[in-house]
Structure formats: structure tokens, C-alpha cells
Amino acid sequence: MGIPTITELTRDSKNYGNIVEEMVRIEKKVFPKHESLARSFQDELRKKNYGVLYSQIEGELVGYVMYSWPSCLLASINKLVVKDNYRRQGHGEALLRAAIEKCRTRNIERICLHVDPLRTSAVSLYQKLGFKIDVLIECYYSTDRNAYRMYLDFNDA
């Protein structure tokens, strides 16, 4: 198996359309309908202060991370997705680290994200990279699914 490469998605990216189509397919497969950005993916990509990094191995999309910086001090990890057959191989960590570095270059002071507490491997990954649990938000995803709001302060790191 080849070495993964992490690339920033821009309109000028080679195979932009194909990459976005594959991301939409992954969105539909991985996330419940009410959490998926599949219908609004193109709109998300057009937003100001929005970034997407993706990982490929030998041309195959492995996963992606979407992040935004709504203010000059705060960023948010909106999605972190790795295809099922590539999970637990370090791809999610590599994507998250790359997104954190992009935020660092913008002099962001805090990165926030939301994660279902039952996704223990995701929670563990975020904690491994320095994220702390801020609060449990009940019924965040649905009436029976909560979320941790987690944060990473660069001043603490």
C-alpha cells in the first residue's frame, strides 16, 4: 500500500469534481441523513473561512477533515471522516493534525468540535491530540444522541 498524502482541497485542485463527488458518497454512507452534508456539500465549500483537507493513497480518497474559522480567534472542526477500511491506521490522526496546523498558521487561539460520547475511539483521538471536554450537550444530534463539546486551546498546548 502506498504512502498517504494530505492535500488542501481548492477549486484548482486536480480532479476537484471527482474528489467532491467521492466526499459526498462518503457523507451519505457514514452519516445519518440529518447529520450529512451531502445535499449542501458544494454550498459548504463555497463558504468564506472554510477549509477541507483530504487524504489519498494511490489516488483513492481515504478521508477528509472540514474546518472553519468563524472569527480570527476561534476555529471549528466540522467533520472528520475516514473510510471504514482505513480506520484505526492513523489516517484520522494525520488529518486532524494537519487541520490543527492550518489553524495554528492563522493564529487561532481555540479549536472547538462536537462528538458523540459513544464514539469512544473518536473521543480518545481528540483527547490524545490535546482536546478537552468542555460540556455534555444533551440531545445535540437527536433526541436520543448527545454530544461532548471539546476544545483545544493553543495557549495551553
CATH number, domain containing residue 45: 3.40.630.30
Residue 27 lies in a domain: yes
Q: Are 53 and 95 in contact (CB under 8 A)?
A: yes
Check residue 125 and give its pLDDT. Answer: 95
**Where is 91: in which H helix or E strand?**
helix 91-105
Asked if 150 and 106 count as a contact pair (C-beta separation under 8 A), the reply is no
Q: How far is CA 143 from CA 114, 129, 147, in A?
A: 16, 29, 11
In a domain, 87, yes or no: yes
pLDDT in tens, 17-39: 888 889 888 888 888 777 777 67
- Residue 155 belongs to a domain: no
Q: Evaluate if residue 1 carries a pLDDT over 70.
A: no
Query: Does residue 152 sit within a domain?
Result: no
pLDDT band (50, 70, 90) for residue 16: confident
Domain extent at residue 71: 5-113
Asked if the structure places residue 11 within a domain, the reply is yes
55 occurs within a structural domain? yes
List pLDDT tens digits, range 46-68.
788 889 999 999 889 999 999 99
Pairwise CA distance, residues 34 & 24, whole Å = 14
When comparing pLDDT for 127 and 145, which is higher? Answer: 127
The residue ranking higher by pLDDT, 10 or 90, is: 90
| Domain count across the chain | 1
In this structure, is residue 103 part of a structural domain? Answer: yes
